[in-house]
Amino acid sequence: MKPPLARRLTPGLFALTLFCSAALIFSLQPLFTRLTTPLLGGSPAVWNASMVFFQAALLTGYIYAHLLARLKNLRLQVALHAAVLGLAALALPLRVSGAFGPPNYEHPALWLLAVLAVSVGAPFAAASATAPLLQAWYARSGRADAHDPYYLYAASNLGSFIGLLAYPSLIEPLLGTRAQGAAWQWGYWAVATLVLAAAAAALLSAGPGGGQAEERAVSPAPAPAKRLYWLGAAAVPSALVLGVTLHISNTAGSTPLFWVIPLALYLATFVIAFSRGAERLAPAAGAVYPFALLLLLGSYLLAGQLVPVALGNLAGFFLSALLCHLALARSRPAADRLTEFYFFVSLGGVLGGSAAALLAPLVFDNVYEYPLALAAAALFLPRGEETTPRLAAAAAIGALALGLLMALLRLVDPGWAQRAVGQHQHAVMLAAFWTCLAALFLNRARPARVAVLVLTAFLVLFLKEDRAGRYITQERSFFGILRTREIYDPGSPGTPIFRIMTHSNVVHGAQLTSPGLTRIPMTYYNPRTALGEAVLAGLSLGEPGRVALIGLGAGASACLLRPADRLTVFEIDPAVVRLAASPGGDFTYMRECQPGARLVVGDARLQLAREPDGAFDVIVVDAFSGDSIPAHLLTREALALYLRKTSDRGIVVLHLSNASLALISEAARLARDLDVPALFRVSPPYNHPYASYFGAMGAGAMIIPKSPRVLPLLPLSVMPGWSFIEAPAGRAWSDDYINIPRALWRNLIGEDYRLTPV
């Protein structure tokens, strides 16, 4: 007779263990990415490369679980897994391994993958084996519902969802990184205890003979085509989540919140697809899909606007991923093939993630993998009966022909649209998209047609005409997408008047191309902006001035300096150096104004720490990536480093313009904690005839002197608009504590610092 207590406790204990283990492993990814991101300059690609590693570690755990579950003796399985959990714990506490030396900026992704493998590979893989192992053990528990343990997968994915969202909303704001690491170590041991308790409950529930597998009929092995289907249905959402993360980060900036939300939605689709009764959702999801895709495509016409871009892309991504995971759930095998199924699901995730995060940046110069994955997701639409087959076919042919004709004309004759429709080009584009979307809705029962139509729509989008100028350079690196756009003279089409550098979707500099005007600093570094004034104020303290610039951009700051001044530039992206400082680069500021400047490639904090104390008179912190200052450059320890490297008459200048985060209050808190004064000014948009091409450039800048004794030396009498800034209450950012939600919230409702005019 089976013990009734064990039978009552088994389902709840298994669900609790799966929930906790999933929450544990999915909190590790943002936690450890938070530790490694500063080493690679805060690039959003750090998250994507980390995703690939954790998917590969998950696959390793699933392979191990699959092999272990093949043992007939359940007691032996439990004993071996307990030993593996104990051995993996030897890698704790969490820390970034120094086995591979400093970061390799030419091959940052490979360096990061190696560091992650040594630092957290063992405990993550051991913990990730919990989900398939416990479900396999539950299938042998002797319970009436043991034949279908897949509903426990929903508990596991719910834990993943909660653990992931808890990091940016609770864990990161409340705990420092050391406390987070300690908490994760205790959580690991707690989950290990729960795993052993669940195993014991399964053995007791199965009765005296529960240690041996029962002889039962084995289901037929899945056909190769079915395994390939599992791979595809898992690979496409994996590529999609990385594509949408990068696309949104390129618009809004790189912050943990924008990393976590797409992954949380990805996990939510897993929870929904593998819950009981989910098979009824497929027709509804297929019907809603065209409208979600309409939002996504429409967001491309509103590039640079965070809310429509984020909502449109997340809606399209969610429906696309849900369709794939519903298809995956419908095709799942019998319980005795469970670990094999999870192996192929995990392998598909690794393949999709690797293609998006590692292969695509080498092959593409833009985020083309994202529309390709969206088109592939359409192949998993549920097939059905067409109500109007002839109308659907006609709509598909018409939309396809229209899209291909527009793309072909754009390639053959780039000026055709301007001559044909003039100012109505935008309306024509919208009409084409509505035609395409009508075709999508009518053909939603034909997945292959929908996939082709999606590709056609994106082809038209990516080939839209630039009437104001042309892109002369587009380069993609680990740190973002770098473009140089040449703007034409409105009165003389085809004649360039200036060039703009954009990193992702943010302007990082511009330069006039007319002879005699190339040395005039434009955008943020124009002498009339707050940032330009701050740099000139520091240079007024003595000659020659020793200047350190963190973040090269187009190099406009070089032309604020005098010939005798000495400039050292710290830049993490080799592609930026090629465009702005190399012979034959697109911008000439550096070559014309500071040809002898010293260029240091690497993370600014790591490289600056190697410089002698007091080596610089002015340190300018202007390191952007998609309009987001890497948080590790704006901590108490970072500011202390900057001040230590300035001379006794030196100043630190912070460029604090940011679209997503309220950084002014955060910077003021740093000065407060270090007991140094701070001056602040936001410059109004300067009046320039071409300012509309590169934004208003109303830069916000902060001056932090080495000590109060420097203040009387600054030419404040000729610097109207500058004020002393008083920091609001609250804990200052540090290497151990960064509160991103606070900065996001304050950006929405307004900052709470106070200004006192000088």
**pTM of whole model > 0.85?**
no
Q: How sure is the predictor about 148, in pLDDT bands with cuts at 50, 70 and 90?
A: low
> What is the rounded distance in angstroms from the CA atom of residue 37 to the CA atom of residue 254?
11
At 356, which amino acid appears? A
CATH superfamily of 506-757: Vaccinia Virus protein VP39 (3.40.50.150)
pLDDT number for residue 718 = 78
Better-scored residue on pLDDT, 336 or 330 = 330
The residue-averaged pLDDT of 96-111 equals: 81
488: which strand partners? Answer: 496
Q: What does 579-624 look like in DSSP terms, one character per residue?
A: HHHSTT-S--HHHHH-TT-EEEES-HHHHHTTSPTT-EEEEEE---
**SS3 state at 417:** helix
Task: Give me 559's structure tokens.
Answer: 């032309």
**Spans of all domains in the chain:** 1-211, 223-382, 389-462, 506-757
In this structure, the chain runs to a length of 758
Check residue 97 and report its DSSP letter: -
pLDDT number for residue 611 = 95
pLDDT number for residue 243 = 86
The residue-averaged pLDDT of 125-132 equals: 86
Of 37, 752, 680, the residue nearest 743 (C-alpha): 752
pLDDT number for residue 386 = 55
> Using one digit for the tens of pLDDT, what is the confidence trace for 458-488?
776 666 555 566 788 888 888 778 888 888 7
> What is the rounded distance in angstroms from the CA atom of residue 26 to the CA atom of residue 54?
9
What HEC string does 12-27 produce? HHHHHHHHHHHHHHHH
pLDDT number for residue 610 = 93
The residue-averaged pLDDT of 741-754 equals: 84
pLDDT number for residue 1 = 44
Better-scored residue on pLDDT, 258 or 128 = 128
Domain 223-382 in CATH 1.10.3470: no
Residue ranges of the alpha helices (H) in 479-602?
A: 530-539, 574-581, 589-593
Task: Using a pLDDT cut of 70, give the percent of the chain over it.
Answer: 78
Q: Do domains 223-382 and 506-757 have the same CATH topology?
A: no
pLDDT number for residue 237 = 92
* 724 φ, ψ (degrees, to nearest 5): -75, 140
pLDDT number for residue 481 = 82
Q: β-strands 754-757, 723-726: how paired?
A: antiparallel
Task: Identify whether 544 is preceded by a cis peptide bond (ω within 30 of 0).
Answer: yes
The residue-averaged pLDDT of 563-590 equals: 92
- What does CATH list as the number for 1-211? 1.20.1250
Q: β-strands 480-489, 492-503: how paired?
A: antiparallel
The residue-averaged pLDDT of 88-113 equals: 83
pLDDT number for residue 614 = 93
Least confident of 86-90, 421-425, 663-667, 688-692: 421-425
**SS3 state at 283:** helix
Q: β-strands 679-682, 646-655: how paired?
A: unpaired
Least confident of 230-234, 369-373, 435-439, 519-523: 435-439
